[in-house]
Amino acid sequence: MTFTNKNKSFEYNLVLNTANNTFEAYLTDNFNISGYGATIEEAVQNLEKIV
């Protein structure tokens, strides 16, 4: 599922890594740019810092 960030206008996807219980938010058009976090919100905030 694709989500849209309304603060900076970019699209991202979310993945839950069950091996280490972390979320990954990555850009839809560039999988190499991603943010990680213990919660969905933290992962998206970390992605926002990069974009």
DSSP 1-51: -EEEETTTTEEEEEEEETTTTEEEEEESS-TT-EEEESSHHHHHHHHHHH-
Q: What is the pTM of this model?
A: 0.87
Tokens for 4, please give them.
């849209």
- How many angstroms separate the CA atoms of 16 and 37, rounded? 10
Phi, psi for 32 (deg, rounded to 5): -75, -15
**What does the pLDDT profile of the chain (51 residues) look like in tens digits?**
789 988 888 999 999 999 999 999 999 999 999 999 999 999 999 999 999
- Report domain extents, the chain: 2-44
Per-residue confidence (pLDDT) for residue 7, from 0 to 100: 81
